[in-house]
Every structure is written in structure tokens, then in C-alpha cells.
Amino acid sequence: EKIGWRKDALHLLVFTTDDVPHIALDGKLGGLVQPHDGQCHLNEANEYTASNQMDYPSLALLGEKLAENNINLIFAVTKNHYVLYKSIRSKVELSVWDQPEDLNLFFTATCQDGVSYPGQRKCEGLKIGDTPLGQPSNPSSELR
């Protein structure tokens, strides 16, 4: 809404930089312990106002917001940082936070080709519109 895009328009965001990417947990090094809340935080002058209040967004949050708002992202970066940004794009990986020690999870990823990959947590080479699926399971509970 701050940008003024129409809902049915093609939303294209070109991100230009000559620096390395910053993602969640990078801010903790500078004392920013509050996770990013996914909100815009632009003031009336279109300046970002939360840079000293919360951590950078995670890749998962960034991907969620891009998808939620139907935004196509293009990285326009300098040659010496190309590989770093290339590793960010088109990759989805399942993870578990705060997994209890006595719980053993097994993942099966179903990627854009429709094939299930037991034991795999990630899909790469994704394009806009691809919908990868992930299915965690607990093998020890299946044996009972």
C-alpha cells in the first residue's frame, strides 16, 4: 500500500546492492535481538524506521511477504557478490526449531517435478508459481 501498486498489476521489485546480504540473526551481532515482525516500517518520507529496533527478516519471512503480495524479486548485484545472492534465490529448505531431543523427525520433500524425495529437506531451482511441499514424519511413532 505504501508503494501504491494495483492489486492486479505485475509487481516487480529490483533490489540493487554492492554489499553482502543481511538476513535474520545478523542483527544480533549488533545487539538487535527482537525478530523482524514482517511489517513495512516506512515513515511519511519513505524512510525505514526500524533499523535500530529489530533484526533483519529471515529468508522465510522475506519469501512469505513476496508471495503474499505477489512480488517478483530481481537481485541486481555486483559481480563479486553474485554467488551469495544466487544461493538465496530459488531455494526452499525445511527446518525445525526447538525440536525436543526425544523426537526424531524425518523429512520428505516434494519439489516442482512432483517427485517425492525421502530424507530431503530442500528444493532448488524454483520459479515463480512453483509450490514445493514438505512432509515431516516421526519414524519411531510409525513403528509402534
- What pLDDT shows up at residue 70? 79
Boundaries of domain holding 60: 1-89
Residue after which a domain boundary falls, among 89, 109, 135: 89
Q: Tell whether 40 and 20 lie within a shared domain.
A: yes
Residue after which a domain boundary falls, among 89, 104, 131: 89
- What pLDDT shows up at residue 143? 41
CB 95 within 8 A of CB 127: no
Q: What is d(CA 83, CA 109) in angstroms, rounded to the nearest whole number?
A: 25
Contacts of range 139-142, beta carbons closer than 8 Å, 24 or more positions apart:
139/104, 139/106, 140/104
pLDDT band at 132 (very low <50, low <70, confident <90, very high): low
Instruction: Kindly report, residue by residue over 42-84, the tens digit of the pLDDT.
Output: 899 989 899 899 988 887 788 788 878 878 788 788 888 888 7
3-state secondary structure at position 99: coil
Q: Tell whether 44 and 81 lie within a shared domain.
A: yes
- What pLDDT shows up at residue 37? 93
Q: In the predicted model, is pLDDT for residue 85 greater than 80?
A: no
Where is pLDDT greater, at 120 or 18?
18
Q: Tell whether 15 and 76 lie within a shared domain.
A: yes
Where is pLDDT greater, at 127 or 71?
71
Q: Tell whether 76 and 132 lie within a shared domain.
A: no
Where is pLDDT greater, at 49 or 2?
49
- What pLDDT shows up at residue 129? 63
Q: Tell whether 81 and 105 lie within a shared domain.
A: no
Instruction: Kindly report, residue by residue over 3-33, the tens digit of the pLDDT.
Output: 888 888 888 888 888 888 777 777 887 888 8
Q: Which three cell numbers stand for residue 107?
A: 523429512
Q: What is d(CA 98, CA 87) in angstroms, rounded to the nearest whole number?
A: 25
Q: How many residues appear in the chain? A: 144
- What pLDDT shows up at residue 98? 60
- What pLDDT shows up at residue 81? 82
Q: Tell whether 80 and 105 lie within a shared domain.
A: no
Provide the number of structural domains found in the chain: 2
